[in-house]
Amino acid sequence: MTTRSAMVGFGGYLPERVVTNDELSERFDTSDEWIRARTGIRQRHIASEQDTAVSMATRAAERALTFAGIAPKDVDAVIVATATPDQAFPSTAVRVLHQLGVAHGFGFDVSAACCGFIYALSSADAFIRSGQARTILVIGSEVYSRILDWSDRGTAVLFGDGAGAVVLRATDGDGSTGLIGTHLHADGSTGDLLYVDGAVGRREHPGHLRMSGRDVFRHAVAKLSSSVDEALDSAGLTYADVSWLVPHQANIRIIEAVARKLQMPIERVVVTVERHANTSAASIPLALDEAVRDGRIQRGDLVLMEALGGGLTWGSALARI
């Protein structure tokens, strides 16, 4: 009997403050129409002074555990995907362990930008399949508003803050539920297309996000499409078998282009970018949480997740809920 990682809990957290395109148009030479036409974004949530990567991750994790009916004492590990940690160390994950009251186990952060959740999910799945853990919280938590250059219209309108979490639990059933497979990729030669121009270890400045939008778009459509094909081919499945596509929420044009390549109607794609903007590693778990809670994603559905981020990093995950 094969051990698989089942997604049994979902949770999300979004800061209270909502910033609309109209509000941004007071700061930039832009408009709601311009932003929506190019990105699909209407609004985004922006962290308050009290919101941190740790606090948001903890809130999302608490909601995921409540959904699953699992107590913190039963958590074996916490893996947090974040490009915007509160500190260089300790990791966001070990801070979350403490906030939740988990007295044992382990935790660490994964840095793969917008693809971080897929990387973290794959790591957690490997721990469960190997028998090193049975219950793992996988979280994406981002505070991108704190690394944006708020004088750069090209990037400032694209991102938002938030956190999403899933509970992975070992299942020894018949294989009808759980993660079927994950596929990860990276290409360091394209690292200058999307990056932060500083770091904690650099004295001159902490850094701001920089992006070559057109180049990222071109790579995103091609690499995400091939990653999705890879996931389905390895499982012996076709596009028609997929119940829901849950993509990284970067840009509605990328989402629609990938859906067209997959011959998948947009009605089978979970889209939150209009209200959340790009929350990087938090975007997929936030979208999962919303679609599970509103009843779109049902038990037994085949869900395909995919993301691309700075690195460039990209990957996919296929799961039966």
Instruction: Encode pLDDT of 48-97 as tens digits.
Output: 999 999 999 999 999 999 999 999 999 999 999 999 999 999 999 999 99
pLDDT at residue 115 above 90? yes
The pTM of this model reads 0.95
Per-residue pLDDT reduced to its tens digit, 119-178: 999 999 999 999 999 999 999 999 999 999 998 988 999 999 999 999 999 998 766 789
How far is residue 165's CA from residue 76's CA, in Å, rounded to a whole number?
15
Q: Which homologous superfamily is 178-320 in?
A: Thiolase/Chalcone synthase (3.40.47.10)
What band does 302 get if pLDDT is binned at 50, 70 and 90? Answer: very high
Burial class (CB in 10 A: 0-12, 13-18, 19+), 311: buried
- Do the domains spanning 4-171 and 178-320 agree at the CATH topology level? yes
Residue the block writes with tokens 């209407």: 42
How far is residue 188's CA from residue 101's CA, in Å, rounded to a whole number?
38
Confidence (pLDDT) at 175 = 65
Per-residue pLDDT reduced to its tens digit, 198-256: 876 554 556 899 999 889 988 888 888 888 899 999 999 999 999 999 999 999 999 99
Confidence (pLDDT) at 304 = 97
How far is residue 311's CA from residue 187's CA, in Å, rounded to a whole number?
6
DSSP letter string, 119-140? HHHHHHHHHHHHTS-SEEEEEE
CATH code: domain 4-171 is 3.40.47.10
Which of residues 17 and 262 earns the better pLDDT score? 17
Q: How many CA atoms lie within 13 A of 73 on its CB side?
A: 0
Confidence (pLDDT) at 176 = 72
Residues designated catalytic: 114, 248, 278
Show me where the domains of the chain are located: 4-171, 178-320
Confidence (pLDDT) at 225 = 85
